[in-house]
């Protein structure tokens, strides 16, 4: 009869509910406390600083929920799995105990190291390692403890920022190691001999992996002949070779500030494949006819050839000569004529693309000047000059030609795509634009033509701030085996093949092009490769940003920078503070809420935020808005995250 007693059953359920553990993920706040976010309902329960010492950000745990001072609080009870597994960190010795501190924004915990690792690696504070978390405080051991797996760098190595971040994202930090066997060049007999044609290359003075050469000829008043010759690594590398597998695994040459890690061994990328001056090299050539109005005549052709570059020119010298600056001159009338014709070609193509496609305003580009010993000498703003634009227009034309050929065949080629806005973001953009007195429906925005017209209109009225605002709603670019539009370029199809020394997707597209030239079938193991390449691309972008932030932290750590004022452009607004970019050098700074005060807005009333419009109000007046220019000074630089903390100066 007790089993059917309603009161007892109710008490039993209440007792079970009281003692029930809830599953969730730990979210750490930078101030030391945290929250448990439940997996199903996404509810949040407060975790005090005391209990946060038992868990790590991202841990999946079981927790008990109690009520204290009318507030539901989570007490961590059992670990399901830890977010921190394999990680990079630096060694810290405190009171004769060695710890490793993870290199991660959310982790500042000191994790003890196994005794045997201390003796084996002869540890010193400041050394960097890859480690694996072996013990957790929520388990029986009641301790965070890690096993050292691999030494990344000793403390005194000047290349620590690059090596640490590359290892953090599991990216290679040195060139591929492979024996310098005698490579046999394929398709020798079917290559056209263009060695006497005056191809030229235009690159940075320091560039060694030269992958494109250009030749131009005026055929008549209405037609220009353009030949783009691209280095041909697939003439040395077969699909099943070890080096091909390594190239796929790497996917890209990783270009970081002052440091690069090649996709191919340097004896290939900087020697056998590189289009060095006066060296006979195998290439894949695109032959195009440019018409008087700047359009590309239909049916561009591709073929295999031999070339000898007749000159290695630099962007700086070519730009200076075309802009009537400096003392440099081409060493022959032939080279001089090539540069004049290329300049004319650029203006034709640029005008045509401006009218028929989409050309965005150029962003400010900042470059680190780094010595051979790794010392940061300066950060300077680099503008893209006429020589850069000539090469860019040439490569875009060649890539458009390849995409058009691919799109005529089924399941052929890898395309660079950009989908503009998805439907939800298009609706937000349409509503946002309406408030700016621009009436355009989301249905128009999601079409290539509508997207193009919108941006061309904003560019024509020079509303660059509005362009920056709505660009935050855009989708990211993707790689696809299906021909899809590239909204950001305003093109129906686009496929790159002009950087096969540096990009594995371009190697694949070379093989597609060669199958057309040789009239052979080519089958590609599609989706597995593409997912790997997309993942590498994502990791490389993250690595680049982190290395850049670290280098800025080093560059600005000098005491003199804490005594001067900087102008910054606000690039984002959060409830916790403002993110901005220093106009002088491009460094990103963060202004916490407590340092946002202006003298005329002292603590009488709180700030109010419109996070959609990125505006901060005080007493119903706009105090800050995105893209405002404000004056700040640097307060400190966080040692682990390299975040630059600043405060506003009136």
The pTM of the full predicted model, rounded to 2 decimals, is: 0.88
Q: What is the CATH number of domain 556-648?
A: 2.40.50.140
| pLDDT tens-digit map of 513-566 | 999 999 888 777 666 688 889 899 999 999 999 999 999 999 999 889 998 999
**Catalytic residue chosen out of the listed positions 59, 127, 209, 506:** 209
Exposure string (b/e) for 395-417, b if CB count within 10 Å is 16 or more?
bbbbbbbbbbbbbeeeebbbbbb
Nearest to 568 by CA among 558, 582, 556, 579: 582
Cβ-Cβ contacts under 8 Å for 21 (sequence gap 6 or more): 62, 63, 64, 77, 78
**Catalytic residue chosen out of the listed positions 59, 127, 203, 506:** 203
Tell whether the model's pLDDT for residue 180 goes beyond 90: no
Does the active-site annotation cover 244?
A: no
| Sign of the alpha-carbon dihedral angle for 52, 55, 57, 60 | negative
Contact criterion met (CB below 8 Å) for 304 and 216: no
The DSSP output letter for 188 is: -
d(CA 415, CA 480): 5
**Catalytic residue chosen out of the listed positions 51, 90, 99, 315:** 315
d(CA 625, CA 412): 47
Tell whether the model's pLDDT for residue 130 goes beyond 90: yes
**Catalytic residue chosen out of the listed positions 191, 250, 349, 502:** 502
What is the distance in angstroms between the CA of the first residue and the CA of the last residue of the chain? 78
Strand bridging mode 280-291 / 34-38: unpaired
Q: 203: helix, coil or strand?
A: strand
551 φ, ψ (degrees, to nearest 5): -65, -35
Tell whether the model's pLDDT for residue 401 goes beyond 90: yes
Contact criterion met (CB below 8 Å) for 496 and 504: no
**Catalytic residue chosen out of the listed positions 212, 232, 506, 628:** 212
The DSSP output letter for 104 is: B
CATH-assigned architecture of domain 18-81: Beta Barrel (2.40)
User: Domains of the chain: which residue ranges?
Assistant: 18-81, 87-157, 192-406, 423-474, 556-648
The DSSP output letter for 41 is: T
The percent of residues above 90 in pLDDT, for the chain, comes to 70
Does the active-site annotation cover 209?
A: yes
Two tokens at 225? 């002949």
| pLDDT tens-digit map of 97-129 | 999 999 887 777 899 999 888 878 888 899 999
Does the active-site annotation cover 117?
A: no
**HEC letters along 276-289:** CECCEEEEEEEEEE
Average pLDDT estimate for 569-580? 91
**Catalytic residue chosen out of the listed positions 59, 127, 211, 506:** 211
Residue, of 166 and 109, whose pLDDT is higher: 166
Contact criterion met (CB below 8 Å) for 486 and 407: no
d(CA 619, CA 606): 8
d(CA 649, CA 599): 9
Cβ-Cβ contacts under 8 Å for 383 (sequence gap 6 or more): 362, 365
Nearest to 117 by CA among 130, 102, 136, 107: 130
Contact criterion met (CB below 8 Å) for 415 and 493: yes
Domains 18-81 and 87-157 agree in fold: yes
Q: What is the CATH number of domain 87-157?
A: 2.40.50.640
Helix (H) or strand (E) holding 646: strand 644-648
3-state helix vs strand vs coil in the chain, percent to 5: 30, 30, 40
Contact criterion met (CB below 8 Å) for 494 and 416: yes
Strand partners, 40: none
Tokens 């496609």 appear where? Answer: 357
pLDDT band of residue 287 (cuts 50, 70, 90) is very high
Does the active-site annotation cover 572?
A: no
Contact criterion met (CB below 8 Å) for 153 and 128: yes
Does the active-site annotation cover 211?
A: yes
Instruction: Supply the angle between the helices 160-168 and 526-555 in degrees, to the nearest 10.
Output: 150
Mean pLDDT of the chain: 90
Does the active-site annotation cover 315?
A: yes
pLDDT band of residue 1 (cuts 50, 70, 90) is very low
Average pLDDT estimate for 312-332? 95
Helix (H) or strand (E) holding 458: helix 448-460
Neighbours of 349 (CB within 10 A): 23
């Amino acid at each position: 009869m007790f089993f059917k007693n309603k009161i007892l059953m109710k008490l039993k359920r209440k007792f079970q509910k009281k003692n029930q553990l809830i599953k969730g993920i730990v979210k750490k706040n930078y101030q030391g406390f945290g929250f448990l976010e439940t997996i199903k309902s996404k509810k949040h329960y407060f975790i005090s600083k005391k209990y946060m010492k038992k868990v790590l950000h991202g841990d999946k745990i079981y927790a008990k929920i109690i009520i204290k001072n009318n507030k539901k609080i989570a007490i961590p009870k059992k670990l399901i799995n830890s977010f921190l597994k394999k990680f990079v960190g630096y060694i810290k010795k405190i009171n004769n105990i060695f710890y490793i501190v993870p290199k991660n924004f959310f982790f500042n915990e000191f994790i003890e190291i196994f005794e045997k690792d201390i003796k084996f690696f002869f540890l010193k504070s400041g050394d960097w390692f890859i480690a694996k978390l072996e013990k957790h405080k929520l388990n029986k051991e009641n301790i965070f403890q890690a096993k050292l797996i691999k030494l990344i760098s000793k403390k005194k190595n000047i290349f620590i920022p690059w090596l640490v971040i590359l290892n953090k994202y599991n990216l290679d930090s040195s060139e591929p190691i492979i024996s310098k066997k005698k490579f046999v060049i394929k398709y020798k007999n079917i290559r056209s001999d263009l060695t006497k044609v005056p191809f030229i290359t235009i690159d940075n003075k320091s560039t060694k992996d030269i992958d494109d050469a250009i030749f131009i000829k005026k055929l008549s008043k209405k037609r220009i002949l353009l030949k783009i010759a691209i280095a041909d690594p697939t003439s040395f590398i077969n699909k099943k070779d070890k080096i091909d597998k390594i190239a796929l695994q790497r996917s890209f040459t990783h270009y970081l500030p002052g440091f690069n890690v090649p996709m191919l061994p340097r004896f290939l990328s900087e020697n056998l494949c590189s289009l060095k001056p006066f060296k006979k090299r195998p290439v894949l050539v695109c032959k195009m006819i440019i018409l008087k109005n700047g359009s590309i005549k239909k049916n561009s052709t591709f073929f295999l050839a031999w070339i000898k570059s007749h000159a290695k020119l630099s962007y700086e010298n070519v730009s200076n000569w075309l802009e009537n600056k400096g003392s440099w001159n081409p060493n022959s009338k032939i080279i001089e004529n090539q540069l004049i014709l290329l300049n004319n070609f650029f203006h034709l193509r640029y005008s045509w693309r401006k009218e028929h496609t989409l050309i965005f305003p150029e962003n400010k580009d900042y470059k680190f000047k780094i010595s051979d010993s790794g010392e940061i000498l300066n950060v300077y703003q680099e503008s893209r000059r006429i020589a850069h634009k000539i090469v860019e227009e040439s490569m875009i034309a060649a890539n458009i030609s390849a995409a058009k050929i691919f799109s005529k065949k089924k399941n052929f080629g890898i395309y660079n795509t950009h989908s503009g806005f998805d439907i939800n973001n298009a609706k937000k953009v349409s509503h946002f634009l309406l408030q700016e007195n621009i009436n355009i429906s989301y249905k128009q925005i999601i079409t290539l033509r509508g997207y193009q017209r919108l941006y061309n209109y904003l560019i024509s009225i020079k509303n660059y701030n509005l362009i920056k605002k709505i660009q935050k709603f855009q989708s990211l670019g993707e790689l696809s085996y299906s021909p899809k539009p590239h909204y950001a370029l305003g093109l129906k199809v686009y496929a790159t093949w002009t950087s096969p020394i540096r990009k594995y997707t371009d190697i694949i597209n070379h093989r597609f092009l060669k199958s057309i030239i040789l009239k052979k079938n080519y089958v590609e193991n599609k989706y597995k490769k593409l997912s790997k390449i997309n993942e590498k691309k994502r990791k490389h972008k993250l690595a680049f940003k982190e290395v850049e932030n670290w280098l800025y932290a080093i560059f600005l750590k000098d005491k003199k920078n804490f005594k001067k004022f900087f102008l910054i452009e606000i690039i984002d607004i959060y409830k916790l503070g403002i993110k901005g970019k220093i106009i002088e050098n491009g460094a990103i700074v963060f202004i916490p809420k407590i340092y946002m005060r202006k003298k005329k807005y002292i603590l009488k009333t709180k700030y109010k935020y419109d996070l959609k419009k990125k505006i901060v109000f005080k007493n119903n007046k706009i105090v800050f808005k995105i893209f405002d220019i404000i004056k700040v000074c640097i307060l400190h630089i966080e040692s682990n995250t390299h975040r630059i903390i600043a405060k506003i100066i009136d």
